Amino acid sequence: MIKQVVVTDAWVKHHDDILLNPALKPFEKALLSMKQIWANAETTTPLSWYAAHVQCTPTSLVASLFPALPEHTQQIWLASPYHARLTRSDLMVMPEYFLDWSADTAEHVCALLNPLLQDDGLQLICQDELLLLCSDKVWDIQPLSFADIAGNTLPNKHMRGMDAGLWSRLLSEVQMSLHQEPVLTQQGLEVHGLWFWGGTGRVVDMLPTTSFPSVATTDIYLQRVLQKLNKQQNAQIIVSYAEQLRTLLPTVLPESWLLLGAGKSVRLKNHIFTSIFSRLRQSQWKGLMSS
């Protein structure tokens, strides 16, 4: 039985305002009848939300599922592939669900890019759809998480860290390689780049999974993690992007929701007095304000 719904992109920024994701409009009336608790929160993806929920980093969670890492690995990064669309002046990175990523595509990208990456002591490795970038040295760099750039334009400023210039050059060379030798997904979408984020030290221990919750999701990366953890049966939590939520919801909406996005966290829970009040007076999102 589903007890909670987590939507990782429920809120979107429009200029200085925060708006409900249009994909949630069919559920807005029901959600407004619930008690609201607003707070600030980091942007997240289904995978990174699950990792935080089980108290580890996304990179540690994914790396623990790989049977082995390259021998001289000192640092590990998540590698998130993306498809981008040209706006008037920039490239907009599409959300993860937009790219129909597969294990075959992951292997193809590794074979294409590793000859380029090895000059900097780097190696892409894949486990089904999951991609890691392994380094034989520690890079001093603090890139944004993929959740921070998804749905936004690619950052046009250097990141923080002594190796920021080298890292930016590396990302540009990856983009150029994928432009010169296009990699297409099963639906014919072009992979325009990889975003490396969530750097952590070498992971050697398997994570304890006995207390990890079972989750229902359509996110490719979290699905693969859950499959390897055997955490897909009898799910009590839905974790989803707003666009994909409808296919996961039961007929009766769950009584607890967590709406994340645009730096906000909104916990919703059915409350008899809130529900009665919403019938007497038009409800509104109490925490909506300029960011």
Condensed to tens digits (0 to 9), the pLDDT of residues 16-31 reads 788 999 999 999 989 9
229 pLDDT more than 80: yes
Structure tokens at 287: 């925490």
Among residues 162, 179, 201, the one where a domain terminates is: 201
Average pLDDT, whole number, for the chain?
A: 89
Between 289 and 213, residue with greater pLDDT: 213
Global confidence as pTM: 0.90
Q: Same structural domain for residues 182 and 70? A: yes
pLDDT at 151: 85
Q: Which residue has the higher pLDDT, 219 or 289?
A: 219
Domain range enclosing 265: 4-47+209-280
Q: Of 179, 201, 223, which residue sits at a domain end?
A: 201
Highest mean pLDDT among 83-87, 161-165, 273-277: 161-165
Structural tokens at position 166: 């080298």
Q: Does 246 lie in the same domain as 153?
A: no
Q: Is residue 154 part of a domain?
A: yes
Whether residue 66 sits in one domain with residue 37: no
Asked which of 201, 234, 256 is the last residue of a domain, the reply is 201
If asked whether residues 62 and 159 sit together in one domain, one would say yes
The reply to whether 121 and 157 lie within a common domain is yes
Domain membership of residue 52 (yes or no) is no
Residue 290 belongs to some domain of the structure: no
How many domains is the chain partitioned into structurally?
2
In a domain, 291, yes or no: no
Are 195 and 65 found together in one domain? yes
Q: Tell me: do 90 and 154 sit in the same domain.
A: yes
225 and 196 in a single domain? The answer is: no
